[in-house]
Amino acid sequence: MIKNKLSQEQKHSIRVRTITAAVLVAFLVPAIIFGSIYFVALSVIIAVAFAYESVHITNLDGKTRKFAFVIIIILLLATCYYVILRNYIDAVKDAERIDFANFFTVNFSELKISEMLLLTSAAVLFIVSFFSREFTIRYVFYFLSMIVILSLGIQSLLYLRFTPFMKFEAVGTIITEDSFIYGQSLELIGYVIVGVCVNDIGAFFVGLNFGHHKMAPEISPKKTWEGAIGGIVISFAVTFTFAMIMAAEGLPLLPQLDLNHWYWIMIVSLLIPFFGDIGDFFFSSIKRSFGVKDFSAILPGHGGVLDRLDSLIFASGLVSGLIVLIQMIEKVTA
């Protein structure tokens, strides 16, 4: 098969994307490694960017757009961090003094959206639509959907970073040692991030060199079947190998993802890139419905923060849900 030739524009795009990615890595990796309040702070920054970009792509006028941004950011942050606030209140009731620096590592073990907050968000958005002809019912459902999806996505990132502390503590692992805090507890979120990134990179280069058959040109014009399949295969190979090596070394991602449960590792490793592709198409569909190419231009070569993290948001959410399901199955069959 003859490889596709790279144009000067494509080569320049690759250089710009690479430089931006390197800067992002330098910014994101320390927060992920140190965890605790640093990772939570990073998630807040991401949430603010998501709120901005969700409003930015709409056709709302200046005043309405600014007002919508304020409303959406308040509702998104409230919905997203409800779990943390609730756990903190419970912790205060049970203890006179809270170790805030390590609070998140032992108090974030579930995904939860408050039903009252969800109903409040719907009510607020409907009220806004009453006073603004431009803020139609379309925007009410659009913003409500984005609040739910993005909240669960950000919660899932926190879950992947912090739930190993709870799960390993439950089986008697010492979770206060630096080797766990800055090592083993990082494996789960690193596993998902690497799976998504390798899928994106693999699909990009395989599609660039060998892609001929478009998947859904009306949604994502550049995606090909060759690229998608190549990305999934490469991502699966990397993540499955990584998880199995860690398990073989006695450092499994989770107690339920050890050598005895290799089949769960295989299933999760295969679904990570698949979930990532679903997220990519989902958010691409939203952009196409508003007639825009990117959510914003914050990240040169990548578009917006949501353009870069769209696959990760979906993959994190669905993988987190899958992990919860695996734990339930293991508990029932034990």
pLDDT in tens, 265-299: 999 999 999 999 999 999 999 999 999 989 998 88
Domain count, the chain: 1
Write phi, then psi, for 7 (nearest 5 degrees): -85, 170
pLDDT confidence of residue 59: 86
109 touches 185 (CB < 8 A): no
Distance CA 62, CA 54 (A): 14
Domain boundaries, position 268: 8-333
Distance from C-alpha of 325 to C-alpha of 255, rounded to nearest angstrom: 14
- With respect to residue 297, please indicate whether it lies within any of the assigned structural domains: yes
* pLDDT at res. 1: 45
Q: How far is it, in rounded angstroms, from Cα 83 to Cα 112? A: 6
Q: Which amino acid appears at position 119 of this protein?
A: L
Task: Check residue 73 and give left, alpha or beta (phi > 0: left; psi -120 to 50: alpha).
Answer: alpha
Q: In this predicted structure, what is the pLDDT of residue 25?
A: 84
**What is the token pair recorded at 53?**
């970009």
**Would you state the structure tokens that stand for residue 64, as one six-digit string?**
């309405």
The verdict on pTM exceeding 0.75 is yes
Residue 2 falls within a domain, yes or no? no
Check residue 101 and give its pLDDT.
56
In-domain check, residue 132? yes
Helix %, strand %, coil % of the chain (to 5): 75, 5, 20
Domain for residue 3, yes or no? Answer: no
Q: Which amino acid is at 80?
A: C
Q: How far apart are CA 29 and CA 19, in angstroms?
A: 15
**Residue 194 included in any domain:** yes
Q: Count the neighbouring beta carbons within 10 Å of the beta carbon of residue 165.
A: 24
Quote the pLDDT of residue 10.
Answer: 65
Largest CA distance in the chain: 69
Euclidean distance between CA atoms 278 and 149, whole angstroms: 13
Q: Closest Cα to residue 183, out of 200, 165, 171?
A: 165
What is the C-alpha end-to-end distance of the chain, expressed in Å?
Answer: 51
Asked whether the beta carbons of 184 and 167 are under 8 A apart, the reply is: no
Residue 296 near residue 305, CB atoms below 8 Å:
yes
pLDDT value at position 2? Answer: 44
- At 18 the pLDDT is 82
- Is residue 1 domain-resident? no
Residues in the chain where the model's pLDDT stays below 50: 1-2
Distance of alpha carbon 159 from alpha carbon 192, whole angstroms? 12
